[in-house]
Amino acid sequence: MDAVILITGPLYSGKTDYARTLCPNPAQICTDAQTLAADCPDLEALADHLAGQYAVVTVTEVGGGVVPTDPAQRAAREAAGRLGCLLAARANTVVRVFCGLPLVLKGDLPQ
Amino acid sequence: MLTFVVGGAGSGKSAYAERLLAASPGPRYYVATMQVWDEECRRRVQRHRAQRAGRGFVTLECSRDLARLRLPAPGSVLLEDLTNLAANERYDPAGAGPYTQEAVREGWRALHRQSPHLIVVGNELFCGGTDYAGDTAAYLKLLADLHRCLAAEADNVCEVVSGCPVYYKGKEPVYGPV
């Protein structure tokens, strides 16, 4: 399997549509991986698992607003951001999709 | 030449877009979309007017039904902003309501037909989480759909971060004569 590609970007920015252009097999795409970070006891292991299991992983950037007053939401948001960093470290290619437009942040897109 | 400028609150997107308009061929029109509801709106309008003062822009007010706006003459236009326009169409009782998507798209297209150089400002609202109460998620989805559609039609798309434009498509426009 090719090394994992991480796709990051704001909510509703076109990440999943873009992932499908890179990988025709939906079973090899994990979307909204940041939702798995909440309550995860071991983010490193989760990142290892996702990077090993999928060709493309997408995460939604959720850390931009006001810090939530609810402790669980606060922790989930923090974990989501950290998972994104851990995945980016494991990915050969990191792409940010903004308004449907990809910008390569790390590495190169596969030919 | 269609340029889409997106940025968060206080990112400098308006100042950057106004710089682009100032560098474009005249006549230069500033299409203001904000409906003035209260004192805060009035102060915001005042600040933006002061920012634009002396730059020779002609201000046209258009809070909705943009497709019907007629420019006095072909020129360059800054439309500020998409977020207000969509909110006015969706929530004003006289607005397009369920047809907001179409009304806003036809609006910028009609404007672009009259103005070879069009700059549109939008707000980056999509990095603050995914859990929204009530109608907010639907409004965000509507805006995001408009953003992706406009970005697909635009020649240039940038996000302004601390006053610095980051181009996702095209580049900072260099304008020829109208």
ipTM of this predicted structure:
0.77
Q: What domain range includes position A17?
A: 5-71+96-106
In this structure, is residue A83 part of a structural domain?
Answer: no
| pLDDT tens, per residue, chain A with 111 residues | 458 999 999 999 999 999 999 999 999 999 999 999 999 999 999 999 999 999 999 999 998 877 888 999 999 999 999 999 999 999 999 999 999 999 999 999 987
In this structure, is residue A55 part of a structural domain?
Answer: yes
- Enumerate chain B positions whose Cβ falls within 8 A of a Cβ in A: 4, 6, 8, 124, 126-131, 140-141, 144-145, 147-148, 150-152, 157, 159, 166, 168-169
CATH number listed for the domain at residues B2-169: 3.40.50.300
Show the tokens assigned to B175.
């304008």
In this structure, is residue A82 part of a structural domain?
Answer: no
Nearest to residue B35, comparing CAs of B66, B7, B63? Answer: B63
CA distances A105 to A73, A93, B1, Å, are 28, 8, 27
| H-state helical runs in B10-129 | 13-22, 39-52, 82-91, 100-114
Show the tokens assigned to A19.
């992932």
Provide the domain count of chain A: 1
Give the start-to-end residue ranges of the domains of chain B: 2-169
Q: In terms of CA atoms, which chain B residue is nearest residue A62? A: B129
In this structure, is residue A101 part of a structural domain?
Answer: yes
For residue B136, give the H/E element and its range. Answer: helix B136-153
In this structure, is residue A81 part of a structural domain?
Answer: no
Nearest to residue B101, comparing CAs of B46, B150, B136, B145? Answer: B145
In this structure, is residue A85 part of a structural domain?
Answer: no
In this structure, is residue A64 part of a structural domain?
Answer: yes
In this structure, is residue A50 part of a structural domain?
Answer: yes
A99 vs B127, B131, B147: nearest CB = B147
